[in-house]
C-alpha cells in the first residue's frame, strides 16, 4: 500500500497521547498539509489546519472566538479544557480563553505589566537566578536539564518578578508544578487531589498578597497588575488569581520547552552550535529558529459564530473547533525553505509559535529574554556540554510539546 492509499491520521493520532505522534509528529503533519490542509477530523469533531497562510487568516480574524463555552456541544475545545457539554464551569477562564470585550479589557491591563521596559528591567535578576541554579551543578558530572534547570528557571523567574519572598519560592514553585497537572488528561486521582489543593492554597496566597499590594505598593509585577487600570477598571482579585495560575502553567511550560528542546537542537547540530559559540550575536536569531522548530505550544483553537468560507472553497461550520497547528505551520515549505533544517542564520524566522492577532502571547518577550539568558550562561559555564542519549523522550501533554528529561554530560570548564 502506497502513501496515497493509507488513510489520513485522525483523532488521537494527531495528539501527544499517541506515542508515534508524540515522538515524531512532522511526518503526519506534513502529509496532512500536502493532502488535506483543511482537514475535518470527525473523531475529535474539529477542523485541523496545517498551512501557514490559513493559520494567519484564522488567527487574525477578529470574528473568531476562543471561549469554549461558546463552542458547539461535544466540541474539541470543551474536551481539551475539561468543560461539560453544557459549557458550565466553576472557574474564571484564563485570558487565553476570553473573548471581547472582556479579553480586550484584560489584555490592556496585563500588557502594562509586560511592557518591554519592565521586561528589560528584569534582565539582571533573571541572569542572577540562572547563575544561582547552575551553581548547584558544580559537583555534577551529569544532569537532567529538564528537571534541574529548564523547569526550575521559569518558575523561579515568575516567583521573583511577582514579588514572592525568596524564603517562599520553593513552596510557590511546587504549587505551580502541581497546578500544571491540570494539563494532563491521564493524571491519577492522587494527582488531581494535589492539583486541587495547590490551586486552593495558591488562590488564598495570591488573594492575600493582592490586598497587601493595594494598600502598600511595591516595585513588583503583582503591584503593577493590582494597580493597572483600563478606563478606570482594575483586575478583580479572582482575575488576579486566574492570571497567576495561567503564568504558572502556560508561561513556565513554554520557557521550559524552549530551553530543553532548544538545547537538544543545538547539541544535535554541532555545526550550528559551533557557529553560535563563534558568534554570540546570533543568539536572538537562534532563539527564533528554536521556537520555529519546536513550537512549545503545538496548537491553538478557535471557533467562528457563523459558517465560514475559506479561500480554498471549504466551508467551516459555525461553533465547531478550528484547531490551528502551529507546529505544522512552522514547517510549511511555502514559508520556510528546507523547513526541517535547523539553521540559526535563517533569514525568515517569522514563526507562529506565539500565535497571531488579538491573542498573540503577551509573555513572548519575557520568554525570549529567558531563553537568551539561559543559553548564554549555560554555554559560557559549560562549553563542552554534550548529550547522554540522542533519543529524546517527550511528555504526553496535549498542546504542549515538552521533553520529559534531557540527560547531559557537563564537562564544564
Residue 258, exposed/middle/buried by CB under 10 A (0-12, 13-18, 19+)?
Answer: buried
pLDDT of the chain along its 413 residues, tens only?
Answer: 345 567 899 999 999 989 999 999 999 999 999 999 999 999 999 999 999 999 999 999 999 999 998 999 888 988 887 766 565 655 567 888 999 999 999 999 899 889 999 999 999 999 999 999 999 987 788 999 999 999 999 999 999 999 999 999 999 999 999 998 888 877 899 999 999 999 999 999 999 999 999 999 998 999 999 988 776 778 899 999 999 989 888 889 999 999 999 999 999 999 999 999 999 999 999 999 999 999 999 999 999 999 999 988 889 999 999 999 999 999 999 999 999 999 999 999 999 999 999 999 999 999 999 999 999 999 999 999 999 988 889 998 888 999 999 999 998 54
Q: Does the CA dihedral 163-164-170-174 come out positive or negative?
A: negative
Q: What is the DSSP string of 22-49?
A: HH--HHHHHHHHHH-SEEEEGGGTEEEE
- Which set of grid coordinates corresponds to residue 212? 497587601
Residue reference for cell 497567576: 244
Query: What is the pTM assigned to this prediction?
Result: 0.94
Helices (H) and strands (E) in the chain, counts: 18, 11
End-to-end CA distance of the chain: 54
Q: Which of 146, 176, 145, 139 is closest to 159 using CA atoms?
A: 176
Exposed e or buried b for every residue in 365-398, given b needs 16+ CB within 10 A? bbbbbbbbbbbebbbebbeebebeeeebebbebb
Sign of CA dihedral 330, 333, 336, 342: positive
Q: DSSP state, 389?
A: -
Residues near 239 by Cβ (< 8 Å), separated by ≥ 6? 92, 106
Whether the Cβ atoms of residue 409 and residue 142 lie closer than 8 Å to each other: yes
Distance (Å, rounded) from C-alpha 112 to C-alpha 115?
Answer: 5
What structural domains does the chain harbor?
3-409 (1.10.630.10)
Q: How far, in whole angstroms, is CA 171 from its chain's centroid?
A: 23
Amino acid at each position: 500500500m502506497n502513501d496515497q492509499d493509507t488513510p489520513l491520521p485522525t483523532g488521537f493520532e494527531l495528539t501527544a497521547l499517541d506515542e508515534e505522534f508524540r515522538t515524531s509528529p512532522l511526518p503526519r503533519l506534513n502529509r496532512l498539509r500536502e493532502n488535506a490542509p483543511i482537514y475535518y477530523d470527525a473523531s475529535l469533531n474539529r477542523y485541523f489546519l496545517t498551512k501557514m497562510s490559513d493559520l494567519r487568516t484564522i488567527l487574525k480574524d477578529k470574528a473568531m472566538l476562543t471561549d469554549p463555552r461558546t463552542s458547539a456541544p461535544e466540541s474539541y475545545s470543551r474536551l481539551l479544557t475539561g468543560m461539560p457539554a453544557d459549557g458550565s464551569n466553576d472557574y474564571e477562564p484564563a485570558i487565553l480563553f476570553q473573548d471581547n470585550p472582556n479579553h480586550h479589557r484584560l489584555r490592556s491591563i496585563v500588557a502594562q505589566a509586560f511592557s518591554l521596559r519592565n521586561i528589560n528591567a528584569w534582565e539582571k535578576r533573571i541572569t542572577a537566578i540562572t547563575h544561582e541554579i547552575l551553581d548547584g551543578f558544580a559537583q555534577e558530572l551529569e544532569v537532567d536539564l529538564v528537571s534541574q534547570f529548564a523547569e526550575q528557571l521559569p518558575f523561579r523567574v515568575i516567583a521573583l518578578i511577582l514579588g514572592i519572598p525568596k524564603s517562599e519560592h520553593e513552596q510557590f514553585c511546587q504549587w505551580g508544578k502541581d497546578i500544571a497537572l491540570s494539563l494532563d488528561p491521564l493524571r491519577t486521582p492522587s494527582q488531581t487531589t494535589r492539583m486541587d489543593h495547590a490551586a486552593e492554597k495558591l488562590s488564598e496566597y495570591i488573594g492575600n498578597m493582592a490586598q497587601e499590594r493595594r494598600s502598600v505598593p511595591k516595585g513588583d509585577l503583582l503591584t503593577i497588575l493590582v494597580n493597572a487600570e483600563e478606563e478606570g477598571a482594575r483586575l478583580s482579585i479572582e482575575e488576579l488569581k486566574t492570571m497567576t495560575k495561567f503564568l504558572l502553567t502556560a508561561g513556565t511550560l513554554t520557557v521550559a520547552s524552549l530551553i530543553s528542546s532548544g538545547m537538544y537542537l543545538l547539541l544535535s547540530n554541532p555545526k550550528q552550535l559551533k557557529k553560535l559559540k563563534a558568534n554570540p550575536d546570533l543568539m536572538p536569531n537562534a532563539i527564533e529558529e528554536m521556537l520555529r522548530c519546536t513550537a512549545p505550544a503545538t496548537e491553538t483553537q478557535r471557533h467562528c459564530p457563523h459558517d465560514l468560507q475559506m479561500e480554498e472553497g471549504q466551508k467551516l461550520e459555525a461553533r465547531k473547533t478550528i484547531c490551528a497547528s502551529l507546529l505544522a505551520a512552522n514547517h510549511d515549505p511555502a514559508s520556510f525553505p528546507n523547513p526541517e533544517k535547523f539553521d540559526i542564520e535563517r533569514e525568515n524566522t517569522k514563526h507562529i509559535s506565539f500565535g497571531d492577532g488579538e491573542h498573540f502571547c503577551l509573555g513572548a518577550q519575557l520568554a525570549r529574554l529567558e531563553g537568551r539568558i539561559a543559553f548564554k550562561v549555560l554555554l559560557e559555564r559549560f562549553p563542552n556540554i554534550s548529550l547522554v542519549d540522542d533519543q529524546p523522550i517527550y511528555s504526553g501533554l496535549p498542546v504542549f510539546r515538552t521533553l520529559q528529561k534531557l540527560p547531559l554530560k557537563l564537562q564544564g570548564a
